[in-house]
Amino acid sequence: MKMKRMGMAKFYCFALVLVLAFGLSSSARVPRVRKHYVKFINNLNNKVLNVNCKNQKPYIDLNLHILLPKEEYDFNYIVGRDMAFSCNLRHGFTSMDFPVSDRAIKRECGGNHCIWKAQDDGVYLLNRKTNQYKFKYGWDK
């Protein structure tokens, strides 16, 4: 009887080791999820900024966000082949449409955290490595 219990205990220990080993090896194959973060800052001189961002395929509309002076709006998404967000910034009768998630933009902002600042003369992008804003787009009239 003791031998039978001892044999069963060894079997359960062996089975547990197999389950743990299989679980660890299969979880190691799960792809790493990367997120991209986008932030907008209204630095306009006493004007409201309208921000509307969309992805075309799959269609995702993040809806209109109205920023008072000095307010901020941010969003994030999981990086994927089909994610190509573009945003429309508007104040008064002027606006600007531009991509916020392509590789060139990510390179310019220094990673996956891009910060855009709207000013009276146009839209600026922060390079996080140099901590400097660079003029990117003037307002369409």
Q: What is the pLDDT of residues 78-115, one digit of tens each?
A: 887 778 899 999 999 999 999 988 888 888 998 889 99
Identity at 57, one-letter amino acid code: K
Q: Is the pLDDT reported for residue 42 higher than 70?
A: yes
CATH architecture of residue range(s) 35-137: Sandwich (2.60)
Q: Is the pLDDT reported for residue 11 higher than 60?
A: no
Tens of pLDDT, residues 24-38: 544 455 566 688 899
Helix (H) or strand (E) holding 50: strand 49-55
Mean pLDDT of the chain: 83
pTM: 0.74
Task: Quote the CA–CA distance of 82 and 51 in Å, as a whole number.
Answer: 21
Task: Quote the CA–CA distance of 90 and 73 in Å, as a whole number.
Answer: 14
**What is the CB neighbour count within 10 angstroms for residue 51?**
24
Supply φ then ψ for residue 110, to 5 degrees. 85, 30
pLDDT over 90 percentage in the chain:
52
Q: Is the peptide bond before 58 cis (omega within 30 degrees of 0)?
A: yes
Q: Is the pLDDT reported for residue 55 higher than 80?
A: yes
Domain boundaries, the chain: 1-30, 35-137
